[in-house]
Amino acid sequence: MIERHPPPTGSAEIVYDITRLVTRALNPAPNGIDRIDFALARHYLAPTNATNRALICTLLGPRLAERAAALQSVDEIENHWNEFIDPASDPIYESTLEALRGPSRREKRQRRILRPRDAKLFAQNWRAMKRWAFHAGRSLDETPQGAVYFNASQFLLDKPWFVGWLDRRKDVKPVFYVHDLLPIDFPEFFWPKEPEAHERRMRNICRFAAGVVTGSHAVARRLEAFAAAEGRESLPICVVRPPASPAFATERAPDPRLDDLDYFVVCGTIEPRKNLLMLLNLWRELAAAVRPPKLVLVGKRGWLSGSVLDLLERSAAIRANVVEVGGLSTPGLRRLLGGARALLAPSFAEGFGIPLAEAMTAGVPVIASDIEVFREVGGDALDYVDPLDGLGWLRAVQDYAAPDSARRQAAIDRLTQRKTSESPSFLSDIEVFVASIAR
């Protein structure tokens, strides 16, 4: 880990990579990587950073792009995601609420709520993607001398043809955001070719990086070990905790319709390392109760999750008590969390845990897997259960679902104490680190 220094005057120009952001234009909602990438893109492409530029990989290869045009695309995608709407205007939130208030017993249809496609915004973002795909731009050889290249997504870093320009421009100082090394450490949770691709990304990062940013000390320690094995024992690493969206810090007004509902929320892509199979089997057990709590699963369907999808689609008990939601707006998620008994995070492995940070910011209790990175994120404020302890998770959910739950109130009290001591400085800490790299 490196020491922080005050930023020097006359810092180098930043070339911020927006390639992955542009590919997200057609997704209905952001994930954790998207949120970090967008926060950094907005910062480095802001009008106050008028000399900075963007990098975009086109069908002609990587090219330089003008800052203002890149920022416009960021704005358009965020509008597509409904990041700033009132929850009352979000049909996904309203449909989720209707499902939670509906009958708790057998239903014939699967309870899956998806965001309807906004044809106008979809067409607009599709045109933007096509425009960028054929963007002529400028050659990367015109990158300003001594510039800092910032890639916050690891996108395309496994491709020799993409990183080749860094071999030609030794004066450029690359900074990368490393979210995790999970495909290398847990290959069983990913597509067969992903571990090899991720290892190539990490090797290229170790080869080219002037500095690396991570969101947790757990990832930094793992990266240090990987880098040392690659001959980069002194790789500068800055650990900065990603903040939750400002939407989670304030709530316009609680929804009184949530007051008499008994439900939990789990948030994230449906994929094997999220441990959702255990959670759904637990809910099948809970279904035998007179008034079982509901579970809202917020996130898109990912990979290698056939058993989870079978339960969601074919189990009558699951259909009656689990609501699957895709495309929920950020304000809608904030309001939904506000009425939940708790956020559940039973993952086997994570690089950080943005949903935990969001729930904690909102003052919502969290039951989380007892894994290193969650302990780092949550400290003593969360309730921890081993991801293999199914009975422990069952007891925790039952305790939190009980009226006037003492265990839940104790968690809320711990969160209240912790919130007063935190002051996130994500962008400013990264700014200082990048400035020190640019010297």
| Token representation of residue 253 | 């007004």
87 within 8 A of 331, measured Cβ to Cβ: yes
| Token representation of residue 315 | 């189990």
What residues contact residue 92 under an 8 Å CB cut-off, 6+ apart? Answer: 113, 114, 115, 325, 326, 327, 328, 329, 332
Q: pTM of this prediction?
A: 0.90
Q: What is the largest CA-CA distance in the chain?
A: 69
The mean pLDDT value of the chain amounts to 88
Distances (CA, A) of 146 to 3, 100, 424: 22, 55, 30
Across 100-109, 322-331, 405-414, least confident range: 100-109
Confidence of residue 177 (pLDDT cuts 50, 70, 90): very high
Is it the case that residue 394 has pLDDT exceeding 70?
A: yes
Share of the chain above pLDDT 70, in %: 88
Confidence of residue 381 (pLDDT cuts 50, 70, 90): very high
Q: Could you report the per-residue pLDDT of 234-257, keeping only the tens digit for each?
A: 999 999 999 888 888 876 678 899
Specify the pLDDT at position 129.
Answer: 64
Share of the chain above pLDDT 90, in %: 67
What residues contact residue 345 under an 8 Å CB cut-off, 6+ apart? Answer: 266, 268, 353, 355, 356, 366, 367, 368, 369, 374
Span 264-280, average pLDDT: 96
Specify the pLDDT at position 176.
Answer: 98
Is it the case that residue 82 has pLDDT exceeding 90?
A: no
Span 175-191, average pLDDT: 97
Give the three-class secondary structure for 344: strand
State the first-to-last Cα distance of the chain, in angstroms, to the nearest integer. 18
Compute the distance between CA of residue 167 and CA of residue 435 in angstroms, rounded to an integer.
22
How many of the other CB atoms lie within 10 Å of CB of 103?
8
Compute the distance between CA of residue 320 and CA of residue 109 in angstroms, rounded to an integer.
9
Closest listed residue to residue 259, CA positions, set 101, 405, 394: 101
Distances (CA, A) of 373 to 1, 227, 377: 17, 20, 6
Span 274-284, average pLDDT: 96
Place of tokens 């893109």: 41
Is it the case that residue 106 has pLDDT exceeding 90?
A: no
Closest listed residue to residue 219, CA positions, set 179, 273, 162: 179
Confidence of residue 183 (pLDDT cuts 50, 70, 90): very high
What residues form DSSP beta bridges with 151?
Answer: 176
Q: Residue 225 is inside which H or E element, if any?
A: helix 217-229
Determine the angle formed by the axes of helices 354-361 and 406-419, rounding to 10 degrees. 90
Report angle CA 94, 98, 100 to the nearest 5 degrees: 115
Give the three-class secondary structure for 292: coil
Confidence of residue 121 (pLDDT cuts 50, 70, 90): low
CB neighbour class for 136 (10 Å; exposed up to 12, middle 13-18, buried from 19)? exposed
Q: Residue 200 is inside which H or E element, if any?
A: helix 194-208
C-alpha dihedral, 7 to 10 to 11 to 13, nearest 10°: 160
Task: Check residues 245 and 402 and name the one with the higher pLDDT.
Answer: 402
Place of tokens 């039951």: 367
**Structural domains for the chain:** 14-81+120-243+424-437 (3.40.50), 247-419 (3.40.50.2000)
Buried b (16+ CB within 10 A) or exposed e, 61-72: ebbbbebebbbe
Specify the pLDDT at position 126.
Answer: 61
Question: How many residues belong to the chain?
Answer: 439
157: DSSP letter: T
Give the three-class secondary structure for 393: helix
Is it the case that residue 225 has pLDDT exceeding 80?
A: yes
Specify the pLDDT at position 104.
Answer: 46
Task: Check residues 72 and 275 and name the one with the higher pLDDT.
Answer: 275
Specify the pLDDT at position 354.
Answer: 94
Specify the pLDDT at position 196.
Answer: 97
Q: Could you report the per-residue pLDDT of 345-379, keeping only the tens digit for each?
A: 999 999 999 999 999 999 999 999 999 999 999 99
Confidence of residue 296 (pLDDT cuts 50, 70, 90): very high
